[in-house]
Amino acid sequence: MDEIIKREDALFEHISKLIDEAHKHVKTTVNTAMVYTYYGVGKYIVEDEQTNKERAAYGKGVLKQLAVKLCNKYGDGWTVDTLKRCRYFYKVYGSSVIGATPLPQSEEVPQFTLSWSHYLVLMRIENADERKFYEIESRQQNWSVRQLQRQYASSLYERLALSRNKDEVMRLANEGQTVDKPSDIIKNPITLEFLGLKPDTVYTESKLEDAIISKMQQFLLELGKGFLFESRQKRFTFEEQHFFVDLVFYNRLLQCYVLIDLKIDKLTHQDLGQMQMYVNYYDRYVKQDFEKPTIGILLCKEKNDALVELTLPKDANIYASAYQLYLPDKALLQAKVKEWIEEFEENEELKQLLR
């Protein structure tokens, strides 16, 4: 029993020293410092569990006693639930944690750049590739916790993956969303649940446009990287006829205009022809020489890929993207992405065999 008490005291001392060191950091780095502290706390707990296997039967009691001591010294924040989160955080981000294998002392600590609240969301994501994607995007796009939660709930990773060539899906986990070519900004579907329009109610294209304008910040977040809003109902005149583009954006990463037309009905070849005319006008009379060709997006309730392919030339810079007024079925999209990745891996194995 004395040996057990000594081990508990040693564990307490290790963690106590770690917390004391964290408190020395200046206020501007407190949040990041605490993330590393939670990681270190989790590391000590996991190491203690792995090197003292006989204590597994009453491990909960160990955490309870540890929580009491820490709360007495540092306040009520160090509860059993907090310690469990620390342990789970380390198990998720500690690359050397494999079952009950003892941890090497030279383990490299990951680089943490987000807040603890962000990591509380991220570490609940089971798929490692998906988790890495959201971590990269949170850092690069400076997402708030609420924005991260919304993007995860809207299945951004799956929607981007399903909008891409199978060979490019694997890049998402390692690089986040890369914007190198027009197709990189396309999502299927576009999720507009934040507009507050009910799917089963009747609304006009004008009402849909008004709702988007009133929620422009959320709409820009949904569109993705590099978008700047220029105008709504942008008028241009050609041969004494007036034409109006519903929404005009500029993408600074692609250095081109992006024209969006809203369609609440089924997509028709006339819609595609009209967008082709809009894109041609902008390319010939609006864009400057250093800018890239204009992109046209038909945001419609129902898209028809076969119609788009048949109506437009292969090199057309025009895309149809369906929109939804509700969050997509995450489980269904995850299953589709898994199927794509498995097919990708099978093709890679076949290539290796044929070499």
C-alpha distances in Å from residue 98, one per residue of 36, 90, 103, 131, 192: 20, 11, 9, 19, 41
> Is the pLDDT at 345 greater than 80, yes or no?
no
pLDDT in tens, 273-304: 999 999 999 999 999 999 999 999 999 988 88
Tell me the two tokens of residue 190.
């576009």
- How many CB atoms are located within 10 Å of the residue 212 CB? 24
Can you name the residues that pair with 245 across neighbouring β-strands?
234
pLDDT given for residue 355 in this prediction? 64
Residue 195: closest CA among 326, 301, 299: 326
Higher per-residue confidence, 336 vs 151: 151
Contact 303, 163 (CB under 8 A): no
More confident of the two residues 318 and 165: 318
Residue 343's pLDDT is 77
Average pLDDT over residues 1-7: 76
Give pLDDT tens digits for 172-226.
888 888 888 998 898 888 999 999 998 878 899 999 999 999 999 999 999 999 9
- Would you state the pLDDT for residue 57? 52
Q: How far apart are CA 211 and CA 326, in angstroms?
A: 14
Residue type, 276: Q
The residue ranking higher by pLDDT, 19 or 294, is: 294
Average pLDDT of the chain is 85
**What tokens does 262 get?**
């809203």
Separation in Å, CA 236 to CA 229, 239, 279, 280, 331 = 17, 10, 12, 12, 44
Distance CA 296, CA 316 (A): 9
